[in-house]
Amino acid sequence: MSLNVVTLVGRVGGDPDVKYFESGSVKCRLTLAVNRPTRNSDQPDWFNLELWGKEAEIAANYVRKGSLIGIKGALKLDSWSDRATGATRTSPVVRVDRIELLGSKRDAETNAGSSSGGYEDEF
């Protein structure tokens, strides 16, 4: 048996980085800060997120820096060759399957600059 499930709730660290491809696909990258309680204060853990398709479009339209979201997805490792050294590098990325906007409707309108409200998906 194998299991690769990531569920996180946190605040978005920056506006979405959205790319549209000629094939019609949409890709969105975000960073997510999730507070980890410590003795003296909360320390954020930062996660890189990757969304595709419908979820990417939702993030592009409704998510902005500071938005509170919940995500469910799987952990994957991106790998590439370092241009300077030729060494193989890896970076963990959460491939998001589902996103839920957790802020209020007013927060969503303020963040998106729209009066159409937010999108919610069942977790």
CB 45 within 8 A of CB 62: no
Residue-wise pLDDT tens digits, 21-77: 999 999 999 999 999 888 887 789 999 999 999 999 999 999 999 999 999 999 999
Looking at the DSSP bridge assignments, the partners of residue 104 are none
Phi, psi (rounded to 5 degrees) for 60: -60, -40
Arithmetic mean of pLDDT over the chain: 86
Instruction: Tell me what the mean pLDDT of segment 77-96 comes to.
Output: 92
Residue 122 has pLDDT above 60, yes or no: no
Closest CA to 55 of 80, 30, 79, 85: 30
**110 band by pLDDT with thresholds 50, 70 and 90:** low
- Delineate the domains of the chain, giving CATH numbers in brackets: 6-110 (2.40.50.140)
